[in-house]
Chain A
Amino acid sequence: MGKEVVKVDHVGMKFNLSQEKIDSIKEYFIKFVKREIKYDEFWALKDINFTLNKGERLGILGLNGAGKSTLLKVIAGVFKPTEGKVTRRGVLAPMLELGAGFDMQYTGAENIYLYGSVLGYSKEFIDERYQEIVDFSELKKFIDVPLKNYSSGMRARLGFSIATVVEPDILILDEVLSVGDAKFRKKSEKKVMDMFDKGVTVLFVSHSLEQVERLCNKAMILEHGRMLEYGEIEKVAEAYRKIID
């Protein structure tokens, strides 16, 4: 086993579910005076601990609202955990919701540069890989069309092509292996598989146990923000089957 790539140390994430959203100064003041500000505390994640070494592929299982996507966002740095710490080593390719940062008025070509820069690429890097992105997305004909005229499948294809043009050390996948039509899905799965072969560390969320068993070698089950089970895929998959039955 190689070196530690992702380390999640006692991570907890708390949200305030206030019953009514207070977002005006007047309301806030009145409620403050009347001491009516209550926050419903809700721990979306609590006491999550694990480490992943290079090349390990973790599948995250759980029912809706178990905290799977929150966990991925904490690891990707979108949320800052309320407690605990996440350490990452290497280049991260977050494929959470593809195309966050796209501008609808921009053309496909402009969006390649914009979204690339959002992901932290340099201009030189995008220049170099521009052709590769266009080719993979198969959108050459539409590359100068504003994005608002794209279909959702085309947007997803462009997003996927931009996000996967790097050679990441850590790959975060949130049900993204289902973008585009059947042909593109096959192609994108192959691309992800190639990354697997290069020894990328993967965090993968899916509702399909079959998919997780096929792709991952480790797994965890989340329930109400807590880690119910963690370990080798066979053992966890068996436990998960019991839960869903």
Chain B
Amino acid sequence: MKERIRNFFRYRYLLWELVKKGIKLKYRRSYLGIFWSLLEPLLTMVVLTVIFGTLLGHNEKTFAVYVLSGRLLYSFFSQSTGAALRSIRGNSAMIKRVYVPKYLYPLSSVMFNYVIFALSLIVLAAVSLIMGVYPSVYSLQLIIPLVLLMIFSFGVGMILATVGVFFRDMEYLWNVVLMLVMYTCAIFYYPDNLIKSGKGWLLKMNPLFCIIDNFRSGLFGELMNTKMLAYSAFASVFVLIFGLWIFYKKQDEFILHI
């Protein structure tokens, strides 16, 4: 254990370099560069608000904030887990030739997406202010779902990275799962009707929905739903421990399969 911690510190600069590389290369050779991480969510928000706002008749100003917050958290989850899933295979040339602690690959994938996500929160803050959603004492709660989101995504990413080495199908399968996750996240609709009709369990089973719901509570100045908080916290920690466990158990076999 002590050895592992020492190793972590020895390679912390590599972690930083890998995170930097992810961010740099994502936008290299595009004219707007990193600015895209602000523009992209803004444009998606406009599209989603126009379509679902008119379709479902949500004309209130705060709907844009509602849609954007859900969309941002979900897209961080989908991007980071997808990147983690591909991280071991994508770096196979390096893994085969030089020793580097392997968890750095999924970890840096999740972290660089988190940095981009954090940047896009600036857009959310701006849109909120414009639409009349002002910060309150409840905004302090926001930090909790943000931390849980990171833990949950990293845990899922570690599991996917491991499975992805042995089964190439996982990439395609995961896209289908992500679709299910997206529709049960209540990104562009209000969950009230679904909950009233007794089908709320469909959403509440999804830890990401609980995280998004808690996040929105902080945003709109309400107290978080404690049940959902407890469930998502439990799920995040469980997934993290399971992810670390399976990754460490299997990591020495990676090299034989990539």
Q: Does A119 contact B (CB under 8 A)?
A: yes
Give the chain A neighbours of B256 by CB distance below 8 A. Answer: 15-16
Q: Does the CB pair B11–A78 fall under 8 Å?
A: no
Interface string of B90-112 (1 = CB under 8 A from A): 00011111111000000000000
Q: Does the CB pair B167–A25 fall under 8 Å?
A: yes
Q: Does B40 contact A (CB under 8 A)?
A: no
B16–chain A nearest beta-carbon distance, Å: 8
Q: Which of B13, B96, B168 contacts A121 (CB 8 A)?
A: B13
Q: How far is the CA of A87 from the CA of B14 in the complex (A)?
A: 24
Give the chain B neighbours of A78 by CB distance below 8 A. Answer: 95-99, 255
Q: How far is the CA of A23 from the CA of B14 in the complex (A)?
A: 30
Q: Does the CB pair A114–B13 fall under 8 Å?
A: no
Where the two chains meet, the residues of A that have a C-beta atom closer than 8 Å to any C-beta of B are 15-16, 23-26, 28, 76-80, 94, 96-97, 100-101, 103, 105-106, 110, 113-114, 117-123
Can you report 27 residue pairs joining A to B where beta carbons are below 8 Å apart? A16-B256, A23-B257, A24-B169, A25-B170, A76-B99, A80-B252, A100-B94, A100-B96, A100-B98, A101-B94, A101-B97, A101-B98, A101-B100, A103-B25, A106-B21, A110-B24, A113-B17, A114-B17, A114-B21, A117-B11, A117-B14, A117-B17, A118-B100, A119-B98, A120-B10, A122-B13, A123-B16
Q: Which 10 A-B pairs have the closest CB atoms?
A: A100-B97, A77-B99, A117-B14, A117-B17, A80-B252, A97-B97, A100-B98, A24-B169, A23-B168, A101-B94
Q: A101-B97, A117-B11 are in contact. List 15 more A-B contacts (CB 8 A).
A: A23-B166, A23-B257, A24-B167, A24-B169, A25-B170, A25-B173, A26-B169, A78-B98, A100-B97, A101-B98, A117-B14, A117-B16, A118-B94, A121-B13, A122-B13
